[in-house]
Amino acid sequence: MKALVLAVTLLGLAAAPALAAEPAEIALTIEKNRFAPEEVRVKAGAPFVLVITNKDGSPEEFESKDLRIEKVIPAGKTVRLRMPSLKAGTYPFVGEYHEKTAKGRIVVE
Amino acid sequence: MAATFVVTLREAFEAALLLGIVYTFLDRIGARAQWRYVTTGGALGLVASVAMGVGLTSVSGPLLDLGPDLIATVVIFAAVVLLTWHSWWMRRHASALHGGVVRRLEEARTSRRWWIVGLIAFTGVFREGAETVLFLWGLLAQASVGSWAGITGGVLGVLVAAALGWAIFHGGRHVNVRTFFSVTTVLLLLVAAGLLSTGLGKLQALGVLPAGEPLWDSTWLLDDRGGVGGFLTALLGYRARPSTFEAAGWALYLVAAGILIFGRRTRVRVARPVETAR
């Protein structure tokens, strides 16, 4: 039993840094040609992963000119987008296929 | 309708420009028989675009997360090499233009580079092809009474781009042949420089190259997010806030390619008196 506790503790200790190093995930949904939420807030200098799910019946392209990202998200699919650590500021993005409605921004603070 | 028109026009413009130039190039060197390389390349580009569009909807996980970026990056850098190669080749042809059609053909045949024009057509169509296919597909998928205007706009955008390609072909056949070669060489190098810059930006976004501060901000002058700026971004790689890699890559490429291609002119000039002496 003691050995088991020790093993679990050791495993936990070994896994903890790995978990902490995993960048935070931020969910973004596309529905009815709009992003939800339209504003994503992240900390400056910390990489993160945007998990974008397209709930619409048509593809969308996540595009940020500032961040040089163009990413097609087919209908009903989820795309994991690794984002670099950003400096403080506002980075707008659009859904290129529905630019009128699909707009949002990443606010880095 | 206007919005979808602009999107497809922007995506298809580069392909139309490249196809127009390579078709005219072959026509002007008297190698119309080699058009099939361009036609085949363009058609394969279209097939690949549809395949990728369909493929994307059937994959998921890392393949969907990273696959398209890897393919896009390879295509971009391949296009840079092909366009540079072609410009260099065109330049060599320009030197043969003083001879007859037979000599021009001989020159081209000995270099056996027909497949380059085919590959240029392929990459030209494929680069933005999958995106355009998915965009039009999306419009159709959402087809309702109100969105028919959107579909019409999207299709019109592609057609207008094709018409522009045709206009280049038509105009290119009538202008002075040396002018045609010079103008298109410069244009192709600018497109290639823009592609290289776009590719470097992509590598930075993917984390392969370190990201950095923008070198300057010319948004006040010309925004790259829409309108004319958006077109210049798609065609020539214009960026209102370029990174050091993007700006330096662009400039260094133009200098290096300029020397490689236009620097050969002296050799051509030296060769000419020998030719007349014969």
- Number of domains chain A is built from: 1
**Residue A41 region by backbone torsions, left for phi larger than 0, else alpha for psi between -120 and 50, else beta:** beta
Chain A: residues touching B (Cβ < 8 Å): 56-61, 65-72, 74-75, 77-82, 84, 87, 92, 96-97, 99-100
CB-CB under 8 Å, B207 with A72: no
User: Tell me, what's the pLDDT at B62?
Assistant: 87
CB-CB under 8 Å, A58 with B139: yes
Residue whose C-alpha is closest to residue B38's, from B127, B158, B120: B120
CA dihedral A27, A32, A33, A37 (to 10 degrees): -30
For strands A103-108 and A89-95, give the pairing: antiparallel
The tokens describing B39, both together, are 């036609």
Closest alpha carbon within chain A to B211: A84
Residue B143, φ and ψ in degrees, nearest 5: -50, 120
CB-CB under 8 Å, B56 with A72: yes
> Which of A58, A72, A96 is facing B142, going by the closest CB pair?
A58
Per-10-residue mean pLDDT, chain B, length 278: 85 91 88 91 95 90 90 94 90 68 63 82 93 87 71 92 92 86 91 95 91 87 84 87 94 94 58 42
Residue ranges of alpha helices (H) inside chain B are 2-28, 35-58, 62-96, 101-111, 114-141, 148-174, 177-205, 227-236, 244-262, 265-277
CB-CB under 8 Å, A78 with B57: no
The tokens describing B108, both together, are 């081209």
pLDDT values of chain A reduced to their tens digit, one per residue, 109 residues: 566 666 656 655 555 544 556 789 999 999 999 999 999 999 998 889 999 999 998 899 999 988 999 999 999 999 999 988 888 999 999 998 888 899 999 999 9
CB-CB under 8 Å, B205 with A72: no
Return the residue matching tokens 């085949």: B40
Residue whose C-alpha is closest to residue B246's, from A46, A23, A66: A66
Burial B37-48 (b: 16+ CB within 10 A, else e): bbeebbebbbeb
Which of helix, strand or coil describes residue A86? coil
User: Which residues on chain A are in Cβ contact (under 8 Å) with B142?
Assistant: 56-58
Given a contact cutoff of 8 angstroms between Cβ atoms, the answer to whether B12 and B89 are in contact is no
A67 lies in a domain? yes
> Which of B134, B213, B224 is facing A59, going by the closest CB pair?
B134
CB-CB under 8 Å, B138 with A59: yes
Residue whose C-alpha is closest to residue A102's, from A80, A68, A77, A73: A73
The tokens describing A76, both together, are 């009903």
A74 lies in a domain? yes
- Alpha-carbon gap, residue A53 to B130, rounded angstroms: 20
Residue whose C-alpha is closest to residue B154's, from B137, B141, B167: B137
- Alpha-carbon gap, residue B249 to B84, rounded angstroms: 14
CB-CB under 8 Å, B207 with A74: no
Q: What does R_g of chain A's alpha carbons equal in angstroms?
A: 18
User: Tell me, what's the pLDDT at B267?
Assistant: 47
User: Tell me, what's the pLDDT at A76?
Assistant: 92
Domain hosting residue B62, numbered range: 2-277
Q: What does R_g of chain B's alpha carbons equal in angstroms?
A: 20
Give the model confidence (pLDDT) of B211-270 as tens digits: 888 889 988 888 888 788 888 888 888 998 999 999 999 999 999 999 988 885 544 444
A14 lies in a domain? no
User: Tell me, what's the pLDDT at A106?
Assistant: 95
User: Which residues on chain B are in Cβ contact (under 8 Å) with A71?
Assistant: 68-69
CB-CB under 8 Å, A61 with B131: yes
CATH of the domain at A72: 2.60.40.420
Kindly tell me the burial class for residue B221, based on how many C-beta atoms sit within 10 Å of its own C-beta (0-12, 13-18, 19 or more): exposed
Residue whose C-alpha is closest to residue B107's, from B118, B117, B96: B96
The DSSP bridge partners found for residue B217 are none
For an interface test with A, the pick among B6, B56, B136 (most A C-beta atoms closer than 10 Å) comes out as: B56
CB-CB under 8 Å, A60 with B64: no
For strands A24-31 and A60-64, give the pairing: unpaired
- Alpha-carbon gap, residue B1 to B6, rounded angstroms: 9
A43 lies in a domain? yes
CA dist B80 → A94, B76, B94, B128, B193 (Å): 28, 6, 21, 15, 7
For an interface test with B, the pick among A25, A34, A65, A105 (most B C-beta atoms closer than 10 Å) comes out as: A65
- Number of domains chain B is built from: 1
Chain B: closest CA distance from residue A20 (Å): 20
Domain hosting residue A78, numbered range: 24-108
CB-CB under 8 Å, B141 with A75: yes
For an interface test with A, the pick among B6, B57, B238 (most A C-beta atoms closer than 10 Å) comes out as: B57
User: Which residues on chain B are in Cβ contact (under 8 Å) with A55?
Assistant: none
* Angle (nearest 5°) at CA A101 between A98 and A107: 105
User: Tell me, what's the pLDDT at B95?
Assistant: 66
- Alpha-carbon gap, residue B25 to B126, rounded angstroms: 21
Which of helix, strand or coil describes residue A49? strand
